[in-house]
A = this chain, B = another copy of it.
Amino acid sequence: MANELAAYSELRARLKRVHVLGSVGGLLGWDEQVNLPPAAAAQRGEQMALVAELVHAEATAPALGAALAACEAAPAGALDEEASVVVAAARRDFDRATKLPAELVSEKARLSSEAYHAWAAARAARDFAAFAPYLEKHLALARREAELLGYGERPYDLAIDRHDPGLTAARIDTLFTELRAGLVPLVRRIDARAEAARARGEAPLALKGFDIAAQRELVRRVTERIGFDYGRGRLDVSLHPFCEGSGDDLRLTTRFDADNPLDALYSSIHEAGHGMYEQGLPREHAGTALAQAAGMAAHESQSRLWENQVARSRAFWRWLGPELRAAFPGPLAGVSEEQLHAAANAVEPGGMIRVDADEVHYNLHILLRFDLEKRLFAGALRVAELPAAWDALCEELFGRRPAHAGEGVLQDVHWSGGAFGYFPSYTLGNMMAAQLWAAARARLAGIEENFSRGEFGRLLGWLRAEVHARGRREDAFALTRRVTGEDLGAKALLAYLEERYG
Residues of B contacting A17 with CB < 8 Å?
Answer: 50
Q: Does A462 contact B (CB under 8 A)?
A: no
**Distance A249 CA – B51 CA, assembled complex (angstroms):** 17
Task: Determine how many copies of this chain the complex contains.
Answer: 2
Q: Is the CB of A232 within 8 A of B40?
A: yes
Q: Is the CB of B20 within 8 A of A24?
A: no
**Distance A46 CA – B20 CA, assembled complex (angstroms):** 7
A48 to chain B, nearest CB (A): 9
**Distance A28 CA – B51 CA, assembled complex (angstroms):** 13
Q: Is the CB of B37 within 8 A of A24?
A: no
A37 partner, pick from B23, B28, B44, B233, beta carbons under 8 A: B233
Q: Is the CB of B24 within 8 A of A232?
A: no
For A245-263 the 0/1 string (1 means CB < 8 A from B) is 0011110000000000000
Q: Is the CB of A248 within 8 A of B39?
A: yes
A452 to chain B, nearest CB (A): 30
Q: From DSSP, what is the main secondary structure of chain A's interface residues? A: helix
**Distance A234 CA – B37 CA, assembled complex (angstroms):** 7
Residues of B contacting A21 with CB < 8 Å?
Answer: 47, 50-51, 54
Q: Does A31 contact B (CB under 8 A)?
A: yes
Q: Which residue of B lies closest to A27 (CB)?
A: B31
Residues of B contacting A46 with CB < 8 Å?
Answer: 20
Give 8 closest A-B pairs by Cβ, nearest first: A40-B249, A40-B248, A39-B248, A39-B232, A39-B231, A43-B248, A38-B231, A20-B50
Knowing that A40-B247, A40-B248 touch, tell me 12 more A-B residue pairs with CB under 8 angstroms.
A20-B47, A20-B50, A23-B47, A24-B51, A27-B47, A37-B230, A37-B250, A39-B229, A39-B248, A40-B232, A40-B249, A43-B249
Which residues of A come within 8 Å of B, CB atoms?
Answer: 17, 20-21, 23-24, 27-28, 31, 35-40, 42-44, 46-47, 50-51, 54, 229-234, 247-250
